[in-house]
Structure formats: C-alpha cells, structure tokens
C-alpha cells in the first residue's frame, strides 16, 4: 500500500492535486521545479515521512493540477503556494523547493514572513546580476522549446533520453522525470519566460533560516559561485552548501549527500 494519499483542493479558483503522507509530525512541503510534478520527490519524501507529514503538490499546469491559460508569473506562483498553505491550514511548514519551486519558496518567505518556519532552496534559477543577459534569455528560450518538443515524444522515448542524460538515476527516478515532461500543460511553458531576474530583493527580506544547495555548473547546475556568495551576503539567516559532482537536480544526482545536509538543517531548525 502506498504511503502517499492523493487529494485535490481548490486554490485561486483552480484545482490543485497533491499527495500527502500520514500525519506523523509537523508539515513539510516539497515544491517541484519546471516540467516536473510532486511524485518526483518520492525518494526524499520516503525518508522524511516517519518524522514529518510530507506534502507533494503539483504546481499549476503541472502533473495532475489544473492548467489555466494565464497565472504563471512569480506573483501567481507565490499566491498558489500561499493559498495551498492557508487552505490546508498548515502551521508554519518547512518548505523545500527545487529550481523554479525554490524561487517560489524564497519569494513566498519574503512576501509572507510568518507563513513558513524555514526553507531549503535547491539550485534556483538565479544569476549574479538582476539583468537577464542575451545568453541567459537565449538559454531560457531554448529550454522552453526543448520542453515543448519533449511533450510530443512517446513516454518510452523520453525514458530512453532520461537514461542517456542521467545514467546514475534509478529506474523510478527516470520514469517520473519522463512522465513530468509529458504532464506539463502547454500554457505552463510560459512560466519559464516569466521568470523575474531580480531574486536579490526578495531574498534580502527573508528572515527565517534558509539553506541554499548548489551543484557544479559544468554538470548543469544553475547557481554560480558568485551568485552563491551574493546570496550568502544578502540573506541574514542564510547558509550555502555546495554538493560536488551534482548538476541541477542535486537531490537525484547525489542523493546521499543531499539527504545528509537536508536532514542536518531541518533537525536544527525544524525539530
């Protein structure tokens, strides 16, 4: 029998799908990234569910949540996540976010300072500067177009592609990764174009313990050493852990190291 119970909930006039474990402790919310969905967190959630009640929501236009034509800006993403916390009546959860989900979590902590207890941010799409240079804008455009192309591929072809791109991942991780590419709605592709390059302003206003996890840029990580140092200098309650031999999906590239630093952090700040 699965440890994860599936539910739907109405937030901002949209149906949001989420999974949750049995109520064995304080709430943790795991927020996935672009072209993924809640099930991508299964390995992490399975290790945390004995001590915490773990929530795995599908973001708007992803997984099994509704997809509106609009509503994918940073403001909308924050509103959706805050609305989920309010509707579920969660008491100051710890929020763990990956990629675009990490950006959402950081902005939520800035705009709703009393809503969460602590944050873990895994390789958000942040640059050293607030300016989207032409190279970065071009990369975002290419990533969106590639996501659009992958939506059209059969699932077995995506699985083969995932095995080639991520040879160290488990069979289950590859399958979930591939399924996430199929389940993103065309409207949700907009969210990558609407990314706000100014992450420094909201991060400087975060007042709760925040862990930023970074990988290696030469393996696909987004956060540069310069951006990590800038985060460390402007986030009073922040700390940075760099995990070597990991790319953008640190939680899958180096699972054991990831879990080690994650559990150390949440045991200290969210016992």
Whole-model pTM: value is 0.97
Q: What pLDDT was estimated at residue 48? A: 96
Q: What pLDDT was estimated at residue 79? A: 98
How does 233-270 read in b/e, with b if 16+ C-beta sit within 10 Å? eebeebebbbbeebbbbbbbbbbebbeebbeebbeebb
Q: What pLDDT was estimated at residue 1? A: 40
Q: What pLDDT was estimated at residue 129? A: 85
C-beta neighbour count of 225 within 10 angstroms: 12
The partner residues of 27 in beta bridges, in order of sequence, read 53
129 or 218, higher pLDDT: 218
Q: What six digits make up the tokens of 62? A: 């992803």
Round the average pLDDT of the chain to a whole number and report it.
Answer: 95
pLDDT in tens, 168-190: 999 999 999 999 999 999 999 98
Q: What six digits make up the tokens of 163? A: 């095995």
pLDDT of 132 higher than 80: no
User: What is the chain's alpha carbon radius of gyration, rounded to the nearest angstrom?
Assistant: 17
Split at pLDDT 50, 70, 90, the class of 2 is low
Q: What pLDDT was estimated at residue 212? A: 98
Split at pLDDT 50, 70, 90, the class of 135 is confident
Split at pLDDT 50, 70, 90, the class of 271 is confident
* CA 59 – CA 184 distance, rounded (Å): 10
pLDDT of 25 higher than 60: yes
pLDDT in tens, 221-267: 999 999 999 999 999 999 999 999 999 999 999 999 999 999 999 99
80 or 143, higher pLDDT: 80
Q: What pLDDT was estimated at residue 130? A: 81
User: Cβ(203)–Cβ(103) under 8 Å?
Assistant: no
């Amino acid at each position: 029998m699965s440890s994860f119970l599936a539910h739907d909930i109405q937030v901002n006039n949209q149906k949001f799908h989420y999974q949750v474990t049995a109520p064995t402790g304080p709430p943790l919310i795991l927020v996935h990234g672009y072209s993924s969905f809640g099930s991508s967190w299964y390995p992490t959630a399975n290790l945390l569910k004995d001590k915490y009640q773990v929530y795995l929501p599908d973001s708007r236009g992803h997984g099994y949540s509704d997809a509106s034509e609009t509503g994918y800006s940073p403001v909308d993403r924050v509103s959706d996540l805050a609305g989920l916390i309010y509707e579920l009546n969660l008491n100051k959860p710890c929020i763990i976010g990956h990629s675009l989900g990490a950006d959402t979590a950081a902005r939520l902590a800035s705009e709703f300072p009393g809503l969460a207890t602590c944050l873990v941010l895994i390789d958000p799409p942040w640059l050293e500067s607030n300016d989207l240079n032409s190279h970065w804008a071009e990369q975002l455009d290419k990533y969106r177009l590639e996501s659009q192309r992958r939506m059209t591929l059969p699932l077995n072809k995506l699985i083969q592609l995932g095995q080639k791109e991520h040879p160290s991942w488990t069979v289950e991780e590859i399958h979930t990764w591939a399924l996430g590419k199929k389940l993103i709605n065309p409207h949700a592709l907009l969210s990558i174009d609407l990314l706000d390059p100014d992450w420094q302003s909201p991060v400087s206003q975060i007042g709760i313990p925040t862990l930023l996890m970074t990988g290696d840029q030469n393996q696909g990580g987004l956060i540069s050493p310069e951006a990590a140092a800038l985060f460390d200098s402007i986030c009073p309650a922040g700390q940075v852990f760099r995990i070597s031999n990991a790319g953008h999906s640190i939680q899958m590239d180096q699972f054991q190291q990831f879990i080690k630093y994650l559990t150390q952090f949440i045991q200290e700040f969210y016992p």
